[in-house]
Amino acid sequence: MNIQEIIDLDFLQKVQDSFAKATGLAAITVDFRGNPVTEYSNFSLFCKKIREDQQLYDKCLKCDAYGGLEAVRRENFFMYRCHTGLVDIAVPIIIKGQFIGSMLVGQVKLNETENDRLDYIIKESSNWKENKEIVADFDQIPIISIEKITAAAKMMFYVINNMVEKDVIQYVQEELRAKDQELINQLKIQADLERSLYAKQKQFFKLMVNPNLFFNVMNTMSCLAVLEKASRTQDVILTFSEMMKYLLTNDNTFVTVEDEISYIYMYVKLQKLRFEDRVQVMIDIPKELRSIKIPAMILQSILDNAYIHGIEPKDGKGSIQIKGYILDDDFICEVIDDGIGMTATAIASIMDKSGGTERESHSKGIGLHHVNFILTSNYGNEYKLKITQNDAGGTTVRFRVPK
């Protein structure tokens, strides 16, 4: 809790200036580290000249620090004599038992008869007394009775702590309002994601047909291709049929890496009809890691994004590499393409949890957005998708799951 966050410093400066003018005392407010947060009020010429000497200035800071610590210990103002013999008072600012700063007031002298009532907080310094100009300035310091100084200290202790307490109430209320707004925003994001997921499920169900009818039709098309001696067409139909079988009959939320790779091989086979030899796909995942389970279809979704948004708009040939390895007990999978790459804005758009309209999301890569949602929903935010721009061009999309 910082004093700068809680107190209206402009108003505090006005209170401090008025206090100094009314009492003849100098004043400044510091944070809990001793750093000033206000300007000096009624600062004496003597103290200004004393602080021009680095050694004496260090002693001044030490007096301020020790005085503040003692005031905190007492939980009340503390009056003492500084190393030059002037009277100073540390008025602690305490909120719910927490020390956040103090107001240092004083720079006055006592009557000779009252001097013995206060101790030096550190060893007295006397070398400054050899400077006649500084001694003359010391003589100009006003003499105030200890009763008046005590009354002024009490007044400032009550005023400043009461003022801070009111500011704290306002500060806490603002914090609560900010947290309420953050919660509202999170609930809105969650509602948007749920609506988006529902829309996608609805879209998927519209596309679903009875599996038996689908496979019967595909089988008929394959037989027709054989009769017409269209072997290439038959191969496409059979490959597509196997892909749809995997999609329609596999109810598992999680599949092995091996299953996903098998599906990818069929996907790449169909893409070759379109891209021919323009795209080379390389899979580098050790066999011992292929039994690890990952959410179904996320690897294919990332690969599809590399084809459509990375390689397709590129002139000439391209390559996509799929790598898998273990790091810190997590399975890491990277899909690296040398396509046209993605801008930082596009990456931020995909990773934005608030999503967007259906059409906007599709143009920005709905697959990756949905993959990120699946990963964070299953494993937490620390497992979110990572998208980076490659130095040599292209994009690397990386995900990890617990081994």
pLDDT tens-place values along the chain, 403 residues long: 677 677 778 888 988 899 888 888 999 888 877 788 899 999 999 999 999 999 999 998 888 888 888 888 888 889 999 999 999 999 888 777 778 788 889 999 988 888 778 889 999 998 999 999 999 999 999 998 888 888 888 888 877 767 766 655 565 566 677 777 777 878 788 777 777 776 666 565 555 545 554 555 556 666 666 666 777 776 677 777 777 777 766 667 789 999 999 988 888 888 887 788 899 999 999 999 999 999 988 998 899 999 988 998 998 999 999 999 999 999 999 999 999 988 888 888 777 754 444 334 443 334 788 888 889 888 988 999 999 999 888 999 999 999 8
What distances in angstroms separate CA 326 from CA 13, 86, 283, 383, 399, one per listed residue?
A: 59, 69, 15, 14, 12
Angle value at C-alpha 30, between 27 and 33, nearest 5 degrees: 150
CATH code for the domain defined by 3-177: 3.30.450
φ, ψ of residue 64 to 5 degrees: the values are: -60, -45
Q: Where are the domains of the chain?
A: 3-177, 279-402
d(CA 29, CA 132): 31
d(CA 380, CA 285): 25
d(CA 335, CA 403): 18
Length of the chain: 403
d(CA 28, CA 3): 14
Closest CA to 104 of 78, 133, 135: 78
> What fold, for 279-402?
Heat Shock Protein 90 (3.30.565)
Its pTM stands at 0.45
Buried b (16+ CB within 10 A) or exposed e, 205-244: eeeeeeeeeeeeebeebbeebeeeeeeeebebbbbbbebb
**Same fold across 3-177 and 279-402:** no
Q: Name the pairing type of β-strands 279-284 and 318-327.
A: parallel
